[in-house]
């Protein structure tokens, strides 16, 4: 079963497998490309947005965007 | 040496220090205005290098030329020269955050495709070094084929270095090296360019490749800024182009981006080295605390509390001073000039109107001073992150919190502060609900009504009914704002969805020159643009309240029957004039309309005059009730309100139901010309202020109607 960034509950480093959905282009443009490692840093008070570290910088994603990022299990 | 004046465009991702470079280059020789018809700000300035005056344009921050936001679209349009008031720049400086090279070079590689001379400015080299990243500018320059200059814009001498590089830039240099589209992407681009873009659009040659790539990844030309005669054919061609990529095993939304990142990876693999670095930076350590699940919201609340306390206590003396200045100035003019219409116009129209504009300055300046500090340090993005979960539940955005809270002081700076919200739809909803926040101009009205009609009964030992009413009015405003936001979220079309995807920049000390300069700019924009409208409306309101000129007859006993037989208070010339003015007649005229709300013609006049500012209501009632002393004498006004009796019924004119109805009306109605003026300026159209006026006033009418009808029948 495919695993998505939105399913993650523990802060850890994950490898991006694939990007899909409506925001594909922008997520890729921000440097979240397949094969890259990203670190889930923390979650906001209500669970989303989440804060991730990718290519050395910090980025926040809402649930709808985290759902587009498939990660290796 | 470049002896010819150049037009130089600054392009770059947000948070790259682009504005710092712009300010350093142009100093105070800069102009800020809106792009016509839209709300993106356009900053243009000049810089002198070696005796030549160059034009510098600071384009809005963009992550990509494949625009997702209005800001990015403006950057794109300006660069390709299809923005109507701008020629294609002679030279583009792509400002890059050296600590985040890959993502920044993505935009640079797009700009390089446009065939405009490009120079790469590696900024924030000090930050990169702190992160253990060493960059060799010469290697990057040779692998990209463009000149590269590494600076830290914070440093004055480095700006001189940049100026030198601009001056020595060889505009005739060979074009930049390019990433290479693979075969299927190339085929798809050619198809789109030849079968659609060349035939049906007027996109300049240089931008056709970028436009083709944009269409392929977008899948449609929705939101395009061109009109086409044959959209069906266009869509079919785009689909065909996408199919070529799909057949080649690629994803049309990803193909270009992946190839560009490969190109960037190759270009920087040797030029940038990452030394092993302790994983936990200062930013990480601050964030662990500031964006913590529990501590985060608490810290944010404290920051807001401090900020608004400071705004209230620091701005008040300035506001009192301005008020005094204009009152004294008005008195001086009134006593110096001969009596007459010109005197009245100057004193009660123009000077009072100008005073009404300037009075907002202290709050605007203090609020933006804090906002720019919070932006400058990087905290604002964290606040948005912490609050976004709560705010999206009610249809707003994490960045809506600060503007909405500012609304408690005054809606004007609050609406100006919505600029920090990038998404247009989130921003417009925030603007539209913001005036429900109980601003300080409502205080005098609330205070008068509560003091006069709400009993000071003690509740639960420590509270009084008056205090609870006061608190209730604030909560009422918040509840209505949330309610309106939820409704609007359903009504407003989503349009092109802007992703939330927000960068959290590394913490740094704010650049004070930028903070002060930007704060001053906000004040200037308010005075020059919203100020015009406010002064104009002030003059109209003055006219309505002063004309037609009527002399109070010696004997007025029969006169009062014309209006209201209850009005047997001794009149003075001012109250007589006001009652017989256009505003007075209008107040009387709308009495049947406002009667179901429990208001009589006296309140009607107040509703009209308080459009200048809500607190004017109290002054107007003072005038109508012929109270000689204008300010600070609300106790006498209070007595008069309580004792005003309707002779037909023998009952008091005002009841608790009237008072509650009036307070609800003031809480909800759009009664502030300055708000209207600033919404016009910030949305760049009369559509939104009109909609705001209509829906808020309608809501106020209905709510007051219900409140009064229930209240008076209890």
pLDDT of residue B702: 95
Integer CA distances (angstroms), B336 to B113, B341, B348, B351, B475, in order: 68, 14, 15, 14, 48
Q: With a cut of 0.90, is the ipTM above it?
A: yes
Q: Does B586 touch chain A (CB under 8 A)?
A: no
- Are A57 and B102 a contacting pair at CB < 8 A? no
**Do the Cβ atoms of B672 and B615 come closer than 8 Å?**
no
Tokens 């004017």 correspond to what residue?
B616
Average pLDDT, chain B: 83
Q: Give the number of beta-carbon pairs within 8 Å between A and B.
A: 120
Residue B31 has pLDDT above 80, yes or no: no
Q: Which CATH architecture has domain B7-168?
A: 3-Layer(aba) Sandwich (3.40)
Q: Does A18 touch chain B (CB under 8 A)?
A: no
CA dihedral B148→B151→B156→B159, nearest 10 degrees, is 20
Domain boundaries in chain B?
Answer: 7-168, 183-274, 295-438+464-493+516-531, 533-713
State pLDDT tens for residues B293-331. Answer: 899 999 988 988 888 778 777 888 898 898 889 888 888
Q: Categorise residue B237: left if φ over 0, alpha if ψ from -120 to 50, beta otherwise.
A: alpha
* B417: confidence class by pLDDT, cuts 50, 70, 90: confident
- Are A25 and B257 a contacting pair at CB < 8 A? yes
pLDDT of residue B633: 43
Q: How far is CA B589 from the centre of its chain?
A: 37
Please report the DSSP string for B541-553 in residue order: HHHHHH-S--PPP
Task: Count CB neighbours of B694 within 10 A.
Answer: 11
Q: Does B389 touch chain A (CB under 8 A)?
A: yes
Highest mean pLDDT: which range of B9-13, B26-30, B454-458, B495-499: B9-13
State pLDDT tens for residues B307-316. Answer: 877 877 788 8
In terms of Cα–Cα distance, which of B68, B52, B57 is closest to B12? B57
> Angle between the B282-290 and B379-393 helix axes, to the nearest 10 degrees?
30
pLDDT of residue B699: 95
* Mutation choice for B interface testing from A60, A63, A64, A65 by most B CBs within 10 A: A60
Task: Kindly report the pTM of this predicted structure.
Answer: 0.80
State pLDDT tens for residues B156-213. Answer: 788 888 999 888 888 876 677 778 888 899 999 999 999 888 888 888 888 899 989 9
Fold of the A3-71 domain: SH3 type barrels. (2.30.30)
Pick from A31, A49, A59: which is nearest to B388 by CB? Answer: A49
**Do the Cβ atoms of B36 and B77 come closer than 8 Å?**
no
CA distance A31 to chain B (A): 6
State pLDDT tens for residues B603-623. Answer: 888 888 888 778 778 777 776
Domain B183-274 maps to which CATH number in 3.30.540.10, 1.10.1040.10, 3.10.180.10, 1.10.287.1770?
1.10.287.1770
For A24-55, give one letter per residue: b (16+ CB within 10 A) or e.
bbbbbbbbbbbeeebebbbbbbeebbbbbbbb
Distance CA B223, CA B379 (A): 33
Between positions 492 and 531 of B, the ones with CB within 8 A of A are 497, 499-506
Q: Does B563 touch chain A (CB under 8 A)?
A: no
Residue B86 has pLDDT above 50, yes or no: yes
């Amino acid at each position: 079963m495919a695993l998505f960034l939105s399913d993650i509950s523990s802060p850890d480093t994950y490898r991006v497998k694939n990007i899909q959905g409506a925001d594909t282009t922008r997520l890729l443009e921000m440097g979240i490309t397949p094969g890259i490692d990203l670190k889930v840093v923390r979650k906001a008070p209500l669970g989303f947005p989440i804060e991730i570290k990718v290519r050395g910088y910090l980025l926040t994603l809402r649930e709808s965007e985290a759902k587009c990022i498939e990660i290796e299990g | 040496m470049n002896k010819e004046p150049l037009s130089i465009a600054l392009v770059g991702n947000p948070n790259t220090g682009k504005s710092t470079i712009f300010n350093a280059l142009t100093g105070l020789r800069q102009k800020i205005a809106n792009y016509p018809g839209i709300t993106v700000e356009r900053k243009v300035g000049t810089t002198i290098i070696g005796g030549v005056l160059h034009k510098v344009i600071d384009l809005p921050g963009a992550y990509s030329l494949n625009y997702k936001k209005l800001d990015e679209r403006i950057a794109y349009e300006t660069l390709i020269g299809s923005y109507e008031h701008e020629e294609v720049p002679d030279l583009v400086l792509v400002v890059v955050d050296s600590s985040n090279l890959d993502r920044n070079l993505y935009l640079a590689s797009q700009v390089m495709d446009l065939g405009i001379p490009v120079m790469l400015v590696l900024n924030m080299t000090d930050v990169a070094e702190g992160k253990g990243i060493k960059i060799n500018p010469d290697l990057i320059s040779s692998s990209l084929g463009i000149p590269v200059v590494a600076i830290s814009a914070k440093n004055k001498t480095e700006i001189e270095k940049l100026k030198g590089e601009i001056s020595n830039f060889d505009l005739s240099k060979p074009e930049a090296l390019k990433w290479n589209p693979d075969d299927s992407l190339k085929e798809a681009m050619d198809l789109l360019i030849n079968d659609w873009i060349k035939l049906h659009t007027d996109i300049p040659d240089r931008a056709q490749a970028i436009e083709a790539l944009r269409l392929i990844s977008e899948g449609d030309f929705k939101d395009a800024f061109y009109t086409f005669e044959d959209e069906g054919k266009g869509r079919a061609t785009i689909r065909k182009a996408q199919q070529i990529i799909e057949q080649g095993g690629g994803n049309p939304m990803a193909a270009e981006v992946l190839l560009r990142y490969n190109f960037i990876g190759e270009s920087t693999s040797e030029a940038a080295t990452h030394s092993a670095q302790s994983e936990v930076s200062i930013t990480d350590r601050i964030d662990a605390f500031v964006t913590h699940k529990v501590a985060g919201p608490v810290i944010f609340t404290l920051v807001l509390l401090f900020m608004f306390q400071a705004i209230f206590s620091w701005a008040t003396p300035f506001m009192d001073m301005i008020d005094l200045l204009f009152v004294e100035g008005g008195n001086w003019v009134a006593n110096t000039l001969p009596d007459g219409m010109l005197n009245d116009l100057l004193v009660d129209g123009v000077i009072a109107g100008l005073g009404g504009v300037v009075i907002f300055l202290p709050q605007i300046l203090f609020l933006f001073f804090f906002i720019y500090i919070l932006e400058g340090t990087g905290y604002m993005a964290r606040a948005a992150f912490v609050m976004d979960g709560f705010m999206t539940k009610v249809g707003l955005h994490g960045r809506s919190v600060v503007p909405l809270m500012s609304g408690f002081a005054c809606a004007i700076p609050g609406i100006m502060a919505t600029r920090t919200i990038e998404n247009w739809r989130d921003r417009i909803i925030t603007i539209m609900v913001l005036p429900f926040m109980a601003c300080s101009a409502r205080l005098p009205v609330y205070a008068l009504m509560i003091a006069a009609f709400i009993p000071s009964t003690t509740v639960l030992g420590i509270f009084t009914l008056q205090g609870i009413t006061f608190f209730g009015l604030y909560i009422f405003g918040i509840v209505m704002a949330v309610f309106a936001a939820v409704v609007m979220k359903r009504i407003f079309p989503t349009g092109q969805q802007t992703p939330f995807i927000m960068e959290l920049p590394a913490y740094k000390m704010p650049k004070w020159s930028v903070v002060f300069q930007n704060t001053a700019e906000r004040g200037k924009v308010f005075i020059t643009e919203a100020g015009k409208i406010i002064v104009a409306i002030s003059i109209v309101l003055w006219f309505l309240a002063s004309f037609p000129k009527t002399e109070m007859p010696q004997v007025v006993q029969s006169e009062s029957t014309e209006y209201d037989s209850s009005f047997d208070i001794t009149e003075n010339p001012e109250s007589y004039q006001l009652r017989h003015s256009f505003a007075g007649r209008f107040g009387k005229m709308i009495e049947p309309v406002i009667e179901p709300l429990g208001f009589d013609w006296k309140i009607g006049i107040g509703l009209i005059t308080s459009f200048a500012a809500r607190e004017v209501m109290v002054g107007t009632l003072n005038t109508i009730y012929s109270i000689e002393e204008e300010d600070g004498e609300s106790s006498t006004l209070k007595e008069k309100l309580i004792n005003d009796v309707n002779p037909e019924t023998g009952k008091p004119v005002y009841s608790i139901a009237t008072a509650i109805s009036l307070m609800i009306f003031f809480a909800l109605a759009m009664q502030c010309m300055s708000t209207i003026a600033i919404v016009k300026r910030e949305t760049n159209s009369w559509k939104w202020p009109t909609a705001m006026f209509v829906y808020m006033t309608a809501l106020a009418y209905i709510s007051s109607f219900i409140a009064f009808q229930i209240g008076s029948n209890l």
